[in-house]
Structure 1
Amino acid sequence: MKSKIWITAVLIVTACTLASAQDDLLKELDSVPAQKEIETAAFKGLQICTMQSTKMAAKNEFYFVVSHRFGDLTNGLDNFFGLDNAYTKLGGIYGVTDWFSVGLSRQTYNKTFELTAKYKLASQEVNGFPVTIVGYNTMDINTKLSTDTYPGLKGVNRFGFTTQLPVSRKFSNSFSAEINPIYVHKNFYDPATEKKDQFLIGTGARYKLTKRLSINLEYSARLGAPETAVYHNPLSAGLDIETGGHVFQLVFSNSQAMNDVAYFTNGIGQWNGGGIYFGFNMYRVF
């Protein structure tokens, strides 16, 4: 009889101990913070139109980039609606990590080579941090400049730079918006119409029409720009078309140049007075 009592007591104590251990384990599991859910696809293209979006190339992804900006549409048949005066950009972008990528392109405008670096600083979370923040830097090398035209030309005069901080938020499955503080520095410029250092505030938005189509809009305002009618704030509208392995973007803009230094500060067109340039961006991912 006594042995039965002892056995029963041991079983009760063991059961209580196991129940207590199970409760402690459940409490520990409850205390483990839930994994943060990152908001995705604020923008489908690496660019909104010409301005950078907050989308990044993934690790080990390589983007082959082909872009064109044709001549002034408003000249009509004189230049076959711009087809006679096209600028071309060929380049590549490589994702070193999921948060850092580098790029190189060669462009017809001023025979420019453009080196780029893009890096993610923060990601929008579904129930947490409200925005995605990216840093973006470019360095231009103008190879068209010649000592025959400028005898005192130095190598450093060929360089131009931009520093940008795109900040985006995906408000819904259909609508995303971005604000982008921009700084442009030129080592070669015309003091009558330009500044060596120029600040801008860029804005952009994307609205999804269907699963594979979206319309995009971007505008950048120059702060303290010289009082001249030579250059105007860049304003662009576009259409994103997703086709399997690449995004195809149709673009209308008042700036024909595609390198950031010139795009932001040397736009000569006006939407209400001539100088509209049609073109496209095509990215192929490998």
Structure 2
Amino acid sequence: MKTLYAALQLTVLLLASDYLFAQEEDLLKLLGDEKPKKEIVKNAFKSTRVINGHSMEFLSPGTMDFRILHRFGQLNQGLDNFFGLDQASMRMGFDFGILQNLMVGVGRSTYKKELDGYIKFAPIRQSTGTGGFPFTVALVTGMTMNTLDWSDPARKNYYSSRLAYYFQSIIGRKFSEAITLQVTPTMVHYNIVPLESQSNDIYAVGLGGRIKFSKRMAFTWDYFYMVNSLDKNIYKNPLSVGLDIETGGHVFQLHFSNSTGMNERAFISETTGSWTKGELRFGFNLSRVFQLKKTRKEH
């Protein structure tokens, strides 16, 4: 009997140890199968604009970005014009975050007294974790309206002649906390052009980027190469370089640019300044974000 009892005890111990081992193995499998959640990559840029052009960044839902873009006259005008500081052009804009991947904006520029508006949507955003994607694809469409008086009021002028449109794709990637790059194929459409020989459609490819070198400061640039132009003897490819400085709720950017206009139609297709001739303008962009609507936090 003692031998049988000992055998039963041993059997029970072996079965119990097998059960506990199986339970531990199942728990380990569960832990091993847990995959990281999908997360959108943010802060590729400190702003929804690189300098002139749109960036791959989006406003959070329920927020408004009040933006002032200010640019002085050309530096090569010398002391008589205080190196351009006696002149200025600006754009004032209001941008609104609708969804995580959708935002809209409106603006008013002193250059040609233009009004502009746009919609930006990202069908794909760079993300990490399960189902992550290595880069962002965003689409932008906008319209501008020239509100200057007609140059020749005696002739029949059409309202549609004041309008121009632009269409962009932004393909960008935040490679690290320090480096972000993006490319922006663009088309600008004029309803009317000065000469019959000129094309109503201007095609360009933009390159933009950021190199962050401290917690609150980064070097940024954007450049647009025009594939065709209204007049290559007059209009140049726009190039802007800047320094982003984050100060709490503000993003303050100092920059140099050869463009005067600050909406897509103006700076892409009507930049006349030349970097090689010193026809540069010093300016600054100021961005202040306001929370208009509280968003629910996920639990």
TM category (shorter chain) comes to 0.7 to 0.9
**1:54 corresponds to which residue?**
56
Identity %: 37
Q: Is the 8 A contact 2:230 2:269 kept in 1?
A: no
Alpha carbons of 1:22 and 1:151: their partners in 2 closer, same or farther (altered >3 Å)? farther
Report the AA paired with residue 250 of structure 1: L
**How big is the shift at 1:246?**
1.3
Where do 5+ consecutive residues of structure 1 fail to align? none
**2:294 corresponds to which residue?**
none
Which among 132, 136, 139 is matched to residue 132 of structure 1?
136
**1:80 corresponds to which residue?**
82
**2:94 corresponds to which residue?**
92
Q: Is the 8 A contact 1:118 1:134 kept in 2?
A: yes
Which among 188, 191, 197 is matched to residue 184 of structure 1?
188
What secondary structure, in the 3-state scheme, does the structure 2 residue paired with 1:166 have? strand
Which among 205, 225, 230 is matched to residue 229 of structure 2?
225
C-alpha RMSD of matched pairs (Å): 2.8
Report the AA paired with residue 97 of structure 1: L
Where do 5+ consecutive residues of structure 2 fail to align? 2-6, 291-299
Q: Does residue 207 of the first structure (1) align with residue 226 of the second (2)?
A: no
Alpha carbons of 1:92 and 1:167: their partners in 2 closer, same or farther (altered >3 Å)? same
Alpha carbons of 1:227 and 1:139: their partners in 2 closer, same or farther (altered >3 Å)? closer
What secondary structure, in the 3-state scheme, does the structure 2 residue paired with 1:67 have? strand
**1:265 corresponds to which residue?**
269
The one-character-per-residue Cα deviations of 1:118-171 (angstroms, maximum 9, x if unpaired) are 112222234752212211121111111427536221111111111111111222
What secondary structure, in the 3-state scheme, does the structure 2 residue paired with 1:79 have? helix
Aligned length: 286
What secondary structure, in the 3-state scheme, does the structure 1 residue paired with 2:59 have? coil
Report the AA paired with residue 171 of structure 2: V
The TM-score, its normalising length taken from structure 1, stands at: 0.88
Which among 38, 41, 47 is matched to residue 39 of structure 1?
41
Q: Is the 8 A contact 2:108 2:114 kept in 1?
A: yes
The TM-score, its normalising length taken from structure 2, stands at: 0.84
**How big is the shift at 1:196?**
0.6
Report the AA paired with residue 157 of structure 2: L
What secondary structure, in the 3-state scheme, does the structure 1 residue paired with 2:104 have? strand
Measure, in 2, the Cα distance between the counterparts of 1:109 and 1:226: 18
Q: Does residue 244 of the first structure (1) align with residue 248 of the second (2)?
A: yes
